[in-house]
Each structure stands twice: as C-alpha cells, then as structure tokens.
Amino acid sequence: MAGGSTLPRRALGRRLRELRLEAKKSQLAAGLAIEVSKQGVGRLEDGQVVRISTAQYRDLLDFYGADEDAKTEVLGLYQEVKAAKGDPSSGWWRAYADVVNPHFDHFMSLEQACSRMTAFQLTLLPGLLQTPEYRRWLVKTADPAMSAVDMERRLELTARRQRRLAEDPEFSLEVLLSESALRHLVGGREVMGEQLQHLLSVGSLPNVSIRVIPFDVGGHPGLVVQSFTLFEFPPLHASRLPEPPVVFVEGFTGALFLEEDSAIERHRSAATGLRQVALSESATKLLVEEIAEEYAA
C-alpha cells in the first residue's frame, strides 16, 4: 500500500507541475515566490524530498492562482505525504471514491499519469477492456449489497477510464491474457459473447495490443508471478529521466504498489517471458472469434 512508498509524493509533484504549467510560470519564478531554489521546485515536482512548509505550499498555490478545489487537493496530498495516510491521490475519479476500494485512488492516479500500461491477467479481463455487463457481474459478486445507484456510478467510472484508449494516442496498453480469462463464464454465455466481441473491437485500436497465452503452451512465468500491472511514465521534461515505473498487484483483501528496482525488473522479465509464449495479435483475434462463436452457439 501507499504507506512508506513514494506514490503520494509523486502524485503531489505531478499536480504541482500541472498547476505551474497552467499558470504559465517558470520553476525559477515559482522558487522566487516561496524562497526556494529553481532546483528545489524541480525536485518537488519530480516527487523528491524537499523541505517546504504548509505556508509555503499555500503561497505557491496562490502564486499559481489555484482555485479552492485545487488547493484542497494539493494540501490533502501534502498531508498524506507527511502522515502516510489520509486522502489518497487526486483527480476527476475522486467523485467515485465512496464506491471503490481505498487503494484504487492510487491506481487511478497511476493509470491517468502513465504513458504505457502492461497488464497480465490469469483469470479476469482488466478494467480498461470490460463491458458494462461483465463489470456489473464482478462488482455484484464482490459486493452483493451495493445499491443500484452506486452500481451505476461504478459502471460510469469504468466507462470514463476507458475513454483514454480512444482519446489519447500517446497512451498505449499491452494486455497479456491467459486463455482462462476468455473461458470463465463471467456473467454467463451471453455476457461473455458480448465481452469477446468487445475485445475484438478494442484490440483493433492502434495503441492497444491484446495477446492470449493458450492453454497448450504449458507452464509459463505468469503462473508463478500471478496477475500484475506495470505502469511506465513519460519523461518529466526534456532534460530529465522518466518517473520511475510502478507495479500493481491486487488481492481479494488488499493491494501492493511495488517500486523497488528488483521487483520492477522481476515483473519486466516475466512480461518478456509471457510475450514469448503468447499468440500473435492476429492469432489471438482468431482464437477470440472462435470462442465467441462457441458462446453464441
């Protein structure tokens, strides 16, 4: 989870950079406004440790002309950085915070900020590929008591997340699926038939790659590593290195955000091994079409 990690600090840095750019201010000007060096502002935006007081944050937000919502957002993140608890990272999805798991706010922050996602799934399809009825079954199974209103908000959240696939050509999604994710009858045959047709449609987007690992390949690294999502980020700016990658691993009762180099490399290596045994995109399309026909029969 977020405690002890750099995720809140990185989310804070990203938001401050956005506000500075929106205000058309330089890092030098921002530093002068709060008596911090240009380099200090740069480190702050890069998610590194910088000694800045609450009063200085308020002055910086005033200098950027931030509205009250932005100020509340940034100061909430600052409190989480200090306490390793409290409000998680922020964005439009916070309107749905009461109907999602606590860790999901950090997941959304990463999903919206990254330039590339690589997801491996053993049993279920990732949220960015799910149809409303497939998602409805998953939510109802996980929380049978969820009200109809909250259910619709969950579905709305998923739909908003999925817009990025079509609207952001700078974002790429690679999905490696065990064949079992196509075979489990999530919601029944009709739901799965519709879901597989949707996979064929989304898979045709130029920034989306969907490849299936068939049963007949036998053992593969994913059976040991289990399902995961790797987030990779664009360069912070022309002269700097990209924000470090993050791996997300979710369980039934909690989740892990892995930032250590060894954990990242282990999952990169696993993804490489999975690509080696996965079908090509064209062969995947044929398999998905074949299974979809079985559901329609």
- Token digits for 271? 């993804």
Across the range 269-290, mean pLDDT stands at 95
pTM above 0.85, yes or no: no
Beta-carbon count within 10 A of 272 CB: 10
Question: Dihedrals φ, ψ of 267, to 5°?
Answer: -75, -35
Location of structure tokens 């064929």: 200
Structural domains of the chain in order of their starting residue, each with its CATH number: 7-83 (1.10.260.40), 102-296 (3.30.870)
pLDDT greater than 90 at residue 154: no
pLDDT greater than 80 at residue 97: no
pLDDT greater than 60 at residue 88: no
Which one has a higher pLDDT value, 109 or 129?
Answer: 129
Share above pLDDT 70 across residues of the chain, in percent, rounded to a whole number: 87
Q: What does R_g of the chain's alpha carbons equal in angstroms?
A: 21
Least confident window among 108-117, 197-206, 242-251, 277-286:
242-251
Tell how strand 208-213 and strand 172-178 pair up: parallel
pLDDT in tens, 13-58: 888 888 888 889 888 888 888 888 888 888 888 877 788 888 888 8
CB 211 within 8 A of CB 279: yes
pLDDT in tens, 5-22: 577 778 788 888 888 888
